[in-house]
Structure 1
Amino acid sequence: MNENVRLTAWVRGRVQGVGFRWWTRATALELGGLVGYAGNLGDGRVQVVAEGARAQCERLLDWLHHGDTPGRVDGVTEIWGQPRGGYEGFEIR
């Protein structure tokens, strides 16, 4: 059973101005089947919203926590929910 889910993750650390959103988009596209976005927040965090198969979202979350990301990730907070739709692909905002 691999239902579709919505992952919303807030990544804190040195994640703005270092290519982190680009890396997140490239990772999501590499995993395949994910739609959503990565966007900068005013407080220095990056918000990542990904919708797709739970296994792919979990892999993306694992990469956000432990991958060789640009910058420095100090922590990730996430919530899970039902997909809302409305995304064409995976965007940088």
Structure 2
Amino acid sequence: MPISQEKSSARTSSTLRARQVILSELRTRDRWVMWKQAYRGGLPTKVPIQPTGKPASSTNPATWSPWPRVRPAARKGYVLGEASAASTWTIAS
């Protein structure tokens, strides 16, 4: 294998390990939401929802869920920041 491919492969492996560590840490926190796509002003946006289908809020921790509740969902996200000014980070699945 050429050196450039070895470096690329090592970098990819290292990135995947780091990603797994980060995700395992995030999974211990009840800051997960599911989301559905909606359109506002003709543009697509992500609307947070709870596993029950009720609306979730990036600023209301009472609407956030533990990882096991959102894990089966195709569209899920993690709430970043403090509840008063939080934003949601989407997990591609």
Do they superpose with TM above 0.5?
no
TM-score range, shorter chain: under 0.3
Q: Which has the higher helix share?
A: 2
Structure with larger Rg: 2
Greater RCO (Cα-Cα under 8 Å, separation 6 or more):
1
Q: Which has the higher strand share?
A: 1
